[in-house]
Copies of this chain bind each other. A is one copy, B any other.
Amino acid sequence: MVPPELEEGLPLERIKDFSLEELLGMAVKAEIGARKFYESLAERIDIQELKNKIEWLAGEEKKHEELLRKIYANMFPGKEIVFPKEHIGPELQPVARQLHGVEDIIDLIRWAMKAEEIAAKFYAELENMVDTEEKKRLMRYLSDMEWGHYYNLKAEYELLLDWAMYSQMMNVGP
């Protein structure tokens, strides 16, 4: 079941229906959404090791947002960023509710993995749409970074599924 922090958005194939300007706007918006999601999630997690990791992800998304704003300013000088109403892939929203137990955390991390995976594929598609080697490189950079996040989350996810082991390993719990 899709949690309230997530809108499923359009499938990746719809990428061809948008201009590069709109897609970069979506990317900026997605990075902001991801940052706010991770920040609010970290506030609701007591497991220190996991909290640190989620905060680290929030910081990474902040840097990506700044990088994308630079790219946008470079490609469309003097223009305000266009944020299309529609978006490709899951869009993350801040976690505004109380989380109950590890199952809620596991569920949100699974969705964050999905969002990171689609973001990685989205940037790989943008690589084919931008025109210079420099811009292609930046898109590869962003794509690789999101794959890095995906695997980092996947690792934690795997262990969280066995909560007894996780709490023993991370020296948390009763």
Seen from chain A, the residues whose Cβ lies within 8 Å of a Cβ on chain B are 67, 70, 133-134, 137-138, 140-142, 144-145, 147-152, 154-156, 158-159, 161-162, 165, 169
Contact = CB atoms under 8 A, between A and B. Distances in A.
Contact of A159 (B141, B147, B162, B169): B141
A80 to B, nearest CB: 22
A152 B150 CA distance: 11
Given A70-B169, A165-B134, A165-B137, A155 B159 contact: no
A57 to B, nearest CB: 11
A173 to B, nearest CB: 16
Given A137-B165, A144-B152, A144-B158, 15 more contacts: A134-B162, A137-B158, A137-B159, A137-B161, A138-B159, A138-B165, A140-B158, A141-B158, A142-B155, A144-B151, A145-B151, A147-B151, A148-B148, A148-B149, A148-B152
A155 B169 contact: no
B145 A152 contact: yes
A144 B154 contact: yes
A161 B137 CA distance: 9
Nearest to A120: B151
Contacts of A155: 140-142, 144-145, 148
A149 B162 CA distance: 23
A128 to B, nearest CB: 15
